[in-house]
Structure 1
Amino acid sequence: MQVGDIVVRKSYDKDITFRIIDIKESDSGSIYVLKGINLRIIADSLGEDLERVDKDTCSDYEQIFNRKVNTSIKKILLNRTAIDLRNLNRSVAVKEKKDLSFGRPGKILHVDGDAEYLDVCLKVYKQLNLDAVGKVIKESDQPKEIVEMVKLVKPDIVVITGHDGVVKDIKDFMDLNNYRNSKYFIEAVTELRNYEPGYDNLVIFAGACQSHYEAILDAGANFASSPSRVLIHCLDPVFICESIAYTNIEKVVSIKDALQNTISGAKGIGGLQTRGKYREGFPKSQYT
């Protein structure tokens, strides 16, 4: 097997599809480093446990995820259409006011430790008509670069994510030393909160698969992963951002409603009450 091959692990009932991203030699033979195609997971395996699959093949597990993703996107867009239709059914005076109004959803900066996951996210941001800027920054470098990126982009919402994970056979889930990259997410959030303390001025989502949820929230994030230390889907941050970006600034985002559109749900994502970032304007310019 070679770097770039698409594989599944036989010992895990072929539940997750991976790409081989590195091969390391050890006393017990070749160790294959794997990256999840859809889930933010890095793993390693001996060659004897791997089975090569076609690049277009998805496990039953991932087919369920893909259906959930498509359902979430359709649900979000249909909900916006339903709101527009309700506005059309109002009185003529209200309708005329609405026709002269315009709105701007919150701007998003998405910093990711993985270029492929970021590319997938940016495509869905575009599908959902969201203004998003993406930047690939290695997890360990995120605390050093995040504030300058925010000064440059001037976002309303910041996503800080990449890869993470817990040590095998972990017993103390509150010990930060048992996590691959949680400390970097925490440091990045801390840097941002030192720059902008207001939770409603700058909304922060931080974390990845199995991240130290409690410590990330304590550092100042509005939303974080992963309350039950589960794997999260690469698009979970996107769906959280959509809820915030399109909720009127006069309203507080319903955490439960926001989680309904995510793939991992309350086991993978949680957060604090946060005001929306959608701003209505009036009147609409006749030149645009």
Structure 2
Amino acid sequence: MKLKKGDIVTRPSYNCDLLFRVLDVRDTYVELVGEEMRLLADAPIEDIILVSEEDRVLREKQAKELEEHSYKLFRQDAKLLKQRGEYEVTAGYKNEADFFELRGRVLHIDGDGLYLKKCTDLYEKLGVPVYGVHLHEREMPEQIGSLLEMVQPDIVVVTGHDALLKSRGDDHDVRTYRNTKYFAECVRIARKHSWNRDDLIIFAGACQSHFESLIKAGANFASSPDRINIHALDPVYIASRVSLTSFMDRVSLSDVLRSTITGEKGLGGIETKGVMRRGMPMKFNS
């Protein structure tokens, strides 16, 4: 079997449960990234099989159904938020609904270029302003300060790939994780830029990341409480919920996690205010 970069493969030793994209091929092993999950892994070449076109199409269909379900839940919640806003701004619908919305701007820093494209497409579909940047995880702490100064976001997402290296032992040691230390350092730098957790909302983490370290560093939301894999689009749903929630309201943790693909085992956070502001009268498109 001749493997090459970009091939879609799976691992028999894990019952072929996930699809991976080949990142690099070495002499005896391959470097892999999850096709839908934000997971980075190494695997012996003998533990790799190419995915047939038929199997790939079936799995992609199943993944699409999960994504569409989360999108539907999100749109339902967004519609309720908008109706509630209209009711408040119009004094119980007594006045004409003549208002605009300034939605929170997102700086999304991603370690995977393909995931970044999927994420920015979803932000645009949800009507959330976003500035996306692709950086390797180890480069993120060096660049995040200047990016924050340039973009001036309301919300920052720092994500990419991660993994718990079980061979190293203690899962409470941040050094046991591939990239958690870079995500945590980004959070600390961002908090120097804005220490108030309601002035700058931060999501940090990827698959199996050390949730506690990221929250303690200053993140509002992070992965992964149960050290499980998270979906590539999960950070988008959390950031977008904050973007579309009024600064007068708190983001419902149960609602925001319900609309993600992974749920509360892979994602968590703290009480956080929204960042969207309404204004009147309507003189331009929101």
Normalized against structure 2, the TM-score is what? 0.91
What is the CA deviation profile of residues 205-227 of structure 1, one whole-angstrom value per residue up to 9, with x for unaligned ones? 01111111111111111111111
Number of residue pairs aligned between Structure 1 and Structure 2: 284
Tell me the amino acid that sits aligned with residue 203 of structure 2. F
Shift of the alpha carbon at 1:21?
Answer: 1.6
Q: Deviations over 1:223-279 (max 9, x none)?
A: 111111111111110010111111111011111111001111111111111100111
Aligned to 2:228: 230
The answer as to 2:121 corresponding to 1:123 is yes
Unaligned runs of 5+ in 2: none
In 2, the alpha carbon distance for the partners of 1:56 and 1:95 equals 53
Equivalent residue letter for 2:229:
L
* 8 A contact 1:6–1:55 mirrored in 2: no
Task: For 2:45 and 2:182, locate their aligned partners in 1 and report how far apart those are by CA, in whole Å.
Answer: 31
Structure 2 partner of 1:76: 74
Given the alignment of the two structures, is residue 217 of structure 1 paired with residue 215 of structure 2, yes or no?
Answer: yes
| Change beyond 3 A, Cα 1:84–1:141 | closer
Contact 1:17 1:59 in 2 (8 A): no
From 6, 17, 22, the equivalent of 2:8 is 6
Read off the aligned partner of 2:19 and give its amino acid letter: T
The superposition leaves residues 54-81 of structure 1 with CA deviations (integer Å, 9 ceiling, x where unpaired) of 4674487765543221111122223334
What is aligned with 1:49? 47
Whole-Å separation in 2 of the counterparts to 1:89 and 1:280 = 12
Please, which runs of 5 or more residues in structure 1 have no aligned partner?
A: none
How has the CA–CA distance of structure 1 residues 83 and 34 changed in structure 2, closer, same or farther, with 3 Å as cutoff? Answer: closer
Q: How does 1:20-59 map to 2 (within 5 A)?
A: 20-25=22-27, 30-54=28-52, 57-58=55-56
Q: Which residue of 2 aligns with 1:18?
A: 20
Is the CA contact (8 Å cut-off) linking 1:15 and 1:60 kept in structure 2?
Answer: no
Distance (whole Å) between structure 2 residues aligned to residue 205 and residue 56 of structure 1: 36
Q: CA deviation at 1:93?
A: 6.9
Q: Deviations over 1:160-189 (max 9, x none)?
A: 111111112454221111111111111111
1:111 alignment counterpart: 109
Q: In structure 1, give the amino acid aligned to 2:151.
A: V
> Partner of 2:144 in structure 1?
146
CA contact (8 A) 2:41 2:163 kept: no
Partners of 1:72 and 1:262 within 8 A in 2 = yes
Residue 152 of structure 2 aligns with an amino acid whose one-letter code is K
Q: Is the 8 A contact 1:8 1:15 kept in 2?
A: yes
The one-letter code of the counterpart of 2:255 is: D
| Cα distance change of structure 1 residues 76 and 34 upon mapping to structure 2, 3 Å threshold | same
Q: What residue is the counterpart of 1:155 in the other structure?
A: 153
Residues 145-170 of structure 1, C-alpha deviations (whole Å, 9 max, x = no match): 10110110111000011111111245
Cα gap change, 1:216/1:253 in structure 2, threshold over 3 Å: closer, same or farther? same
RMSD of the alignment, in Å?
Answer: 2.5
> After the TM superposition, which residues 172-183 of structure 1 pair with which residues of structure 2 at under 5 Å, given as runs?
172-183=170-181
- Going from structure 1 to structure 2, the CA distance change for 1:59 and 1:36 (only over 3 Å counts) comes to farther
TM-score by length of structure 1 reads 0.90
Once the two structures are superposed, residues 84-110 of structure 1 have per-residue CA deviations (whole angstroms, 9 ceiling, x without a partner) of 5677899x8754745211112111000
- Picking from 121, 132, 140, the partner of 1:134 is 132
2:255 aligned to which of 254, 257, 260: 257
Give the secondary-structure state (helix, strand or coil) at the position aligned to 1:80: helix
Letter of the 1:15 counterpart: D
8 Å contact kept, 2:169–2:176: no
Contact residue 225 and residue 270 of structure 1 kept, 8 A: yes
CA contact (8 A) 2:157 2:235 kept: yes
